[in-house]
Structure formats: C-alpha cells, structure tokens
C-alpha cells in the first residue's frame, strides 16, 4: 500500500493503441487506485488497466511496452525518459508479487507486527472478530488481486468482460464521475450489479441496453456502492469461506481456488441487499445525479421507490453524467 500511495500522483506520456490495426495516439498514463488510467491529451479517460494484471512485452528494454494480461493487442509504450513511471509499475507489482501459478495468492503482506499476537489468540476469537481484523489489515492493492481472481472464476458464467475503445472511455468516465475505482461490464450471469474486493463493481450489459438514460446505469452502480459501505466485499468473501478462510488468509497470505470459486458462484446467485432509501438518496444528491430514472427502473409504478423520486425535488443543480454519443457507445460495449 505504501508503494501505491507514493506514486498515486505520478503521470507519464506515452503512445497507446487499442488494436494492432489502429494508429497509435499520444496519451497520459497516471496511477490511480490500483489501476493505470490512460487518458487522452484533453484528460478524457480512454481505459483503465488493473496494475496487478499489466504485463511488460519487452522486459529490460526501452521504450517500455505494456499490455493487459491476456490481451497483447492493446499496448501502451512509455517514452524513454519516463523511467520513474516504469520503476513505479515494477515496484507496485513486486509489492503484489503476483504469480499465475498460484491463483488467489496474496503477496506483500506486512503483518509481522500483529501476526504473533493474533495467531496466539485466534482460537479464542469469535469468527466475526477474526474476520474484522483480517479485513482491517489487508491493503487495497491486495484486495484488487483477490477481485481479479474472483472475476476470472466468474467468467465461465458471466462471459468475458466487454471492451470497445470508445465505450471503454465512456465507462472510465462513468467510474470517475461516480468516484469508484473500476466498473466492469459483463454479458450476463448477474442480475444487475455485484461487488468485488478492490473497489470493482460488475454491471450487467442488460442495465445498459434496456434503458435510455445513463442515470439508470449510474443509479445501479451508486446502489451497489452503498451496499459495499454496509458489507465489505472482502468481509463477505471471508464470511462465505468460513473461519478457516480468514485464518488462512492471515497466516499464509493465500485463499484457495475453491474458496474463490465458491464465492464466485455465490455472487452469481445472490440477491442484492436492501438499502435504506434515505442513505441512497443522499448518495445521489452528493453526486448531483437525479434518482428518479433509477427509481422507476427498479419499480415502474414508483410505489416502492417514492422516497427517491421525491428527493429529486431538492436536487437543484444536477450535473451531466456523459454525452449522448458516449452513452450510445457504452450501450454497445458488448456488441463489438
């Protein structure tokens, strides 16, 4: 986490292309919340890459060329003088110490100070106490690793995450607008939304395609964000995994593939938790987004969501979510 915090304001120039047939374009790469944000020269986000999943195509050579794991067609070339960014990416990845041969394994834990006392007393703790302690000491960067592993486990049911160049920019803009690390659109497998450790919200393509107002999609993400404030996604994972999962994560830095697979299956079938309407309307208001489009999407009659609808009367200065062109592109993200 120290490595991540040190570099969160670092920016570098580079050349990016979404596919081999595309022309390379000048971009700015910046380190966000465990992600590498790639933006155009007008500071409009084009895509987000998860730092744990970034691969270097030419180790030890300059200019450094990177691509997302599993997709070597999308590339980012950093200028030769951007050595600080290259070093930052490598340092953060070393802190994660991610190895494909060990799915679900976490690296870089700095638990030495508390481990001895916790292990000695763990057998006397209630499961909730141990789980709360574990979630309090897992760094954000390691949560991202867990989230990526769960997403991989969900792929056979949800399908691979949807990507398209223009739509990726719109999706990144929506994530920045809602102050969230990352939104991942999946073709199916979930009812509406789901949360992964690391600040990632999964969004079903149906939410984008079945509604004409981007405020509806934003609303579903806002609602999911509110749920994560009530139940930490990592705590939910450990609760599903039982006491042994919490103890194993704390003492070995690992979660078994079976634990991750079971949780992935649970996410696919889980019913979303109810949210207090007052807290939800406050979230919409703080982001200056109207709540009524989402309210009518949830209940076309408005009877059960009347509090959200009435709250719009107090929203005096709603702000745009994205342009019409960006919204249309985002609606087509799974059709490329």
pLDDT digit string (tens) for the chain, length 336 residues: 445 566 667 889 999 998 888 888 999 998 876 778 888 888 888 888 888 778 889 988 889 999 987 778 889 999 889 888 888 888 887 776 544 444 444 444 445 445 545 554 545 545 788 888 888 888 887 888 899 899 999 999 999 999 888 888 899 899 999 988 899 999 999 989 999 998 999 999 999 999 999 999 999 999 999 999 999 999 999 999 988 888 888 887 778 999 999 999 999 988 888 899 899 999 999 999 999 999 999 999 999 999 999 999 888 888 999 999 999 999 999 987
Residue 37 domain boundaries: 2-96
User: Is 336 domain-assigned?
Assistant: no
Residue after which a domain boundary falls, among 61, 96, 131 = 96
Do 36 and 126 fall into the same domain? no
Do 147 and 173 fall into the same domain? yes
User: Is 231 domain-assigned?
Assistant: yes
User: Is 187 domain-assigned?
Assistant: yes
- The CB density around residue 166, as the number of other CB atoms within 10 Å, is 17
Do 126 and 227 fall into the same domain? yes
User: Is 319 domain-assigned?
Assistant: yes
Do 159 and 205 fall into the same domain? yes
CB neighbour class for 71 (10 Å; exposed up to 12, middle 13-18, buried from 19)? middle
Residue after which a domain boundary falls, among 62, 96, 130 = 96
User: Is 107 domain-assigned?
Assistant: no
Residue after which a domain boundary falls, among 65, 96, 127 = 96
Do 88 and 140 fall into the same domain? no
Do 126 and 250 fall into the same domain? yes
Do 307 and 167 fall into the same domain? yes
Q: Could you give the number of structural domains in the chain?
A: 2
Do 36 and 149 fall into the same domain? no
108: left (phi over 0), alpha (psi -120 to 50) or beta: left
User: Is 102 domain-assigned?
Assistant: no
Do 200 and 296 fall into the same domain? yes
User: Is 104 domain-assigned?
Assistant: no
User: Is 232 domain-assigned?
Assistant: yes
221: left (phi over 0), alpha (psi -120 to 50) or beta: alpha
């Amino acid at each position: 986490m120290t490595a991540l915090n040190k570099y969160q304001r670092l920016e570098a120039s580079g050349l990016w292309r979404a596919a081999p047939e595309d022309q390379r374009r000048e971009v700015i790469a910046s380190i966000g919340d465990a992600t590498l944000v790639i933006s155009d020269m007008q500071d409009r986000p084009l895509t987000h890459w998860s730092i744990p999943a970034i691969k270097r195509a030419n180790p030890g050579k300059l200019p450094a060329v990177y691509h997302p794991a599993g997709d070597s067609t999308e590339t980012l070339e950093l200028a030769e003088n951007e050595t600080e960014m290259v070093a930052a990416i490598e340092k953060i990845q070393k802190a994660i110490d991610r190895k494909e041969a060990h799915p679900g394994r976490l690296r870089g834990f700095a638990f030495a100070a508390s481990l001895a006392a916790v292990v000695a007393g763990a057998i006397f703790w209630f499961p909730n106490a141990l789980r709360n302690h574990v979630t309090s000491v897992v760094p954000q960067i390691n949560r991202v690793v867990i989230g990526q592993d769960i997403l991989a486990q969900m792929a056979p049911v949800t399908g691979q995450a949807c990507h398209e160049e223009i739509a990726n920019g719109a999706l990144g803009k929506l994530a920045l607008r809602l102050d969230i690390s990352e939104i991942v659109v999946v073709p199916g497998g979930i009812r509406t939304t789901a949360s992964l450790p690391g600040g990632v919200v999964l969004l079903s393509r149906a939410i984008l395609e079945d509604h004409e107002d981007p405020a509806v999609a934003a609303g579903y993400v806002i609602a999911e964000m509110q749920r994560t404030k009530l139940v930490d996604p990592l705590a939910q994972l450990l609760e599903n995994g039982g006491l042994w999962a919490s103890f194993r994560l704390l003492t070995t830095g690992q979660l078994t593939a079976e634990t991750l697979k079971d949780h992935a299956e649970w996410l696919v079938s889980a019913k979303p938790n109810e949210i207090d309407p007052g807290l939800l309307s406050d979230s919409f208001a703080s982001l200056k987004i109207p709540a009524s489009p989402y309210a009518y999407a949830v209940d076309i009659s408005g009877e059960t969501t009347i509090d959200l609808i009435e709250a719009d009367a107090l929203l005096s200065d709603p702000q745009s979510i994205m342009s019409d062109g960006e919204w249309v592109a985002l609606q087509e993200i799974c059709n490329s």
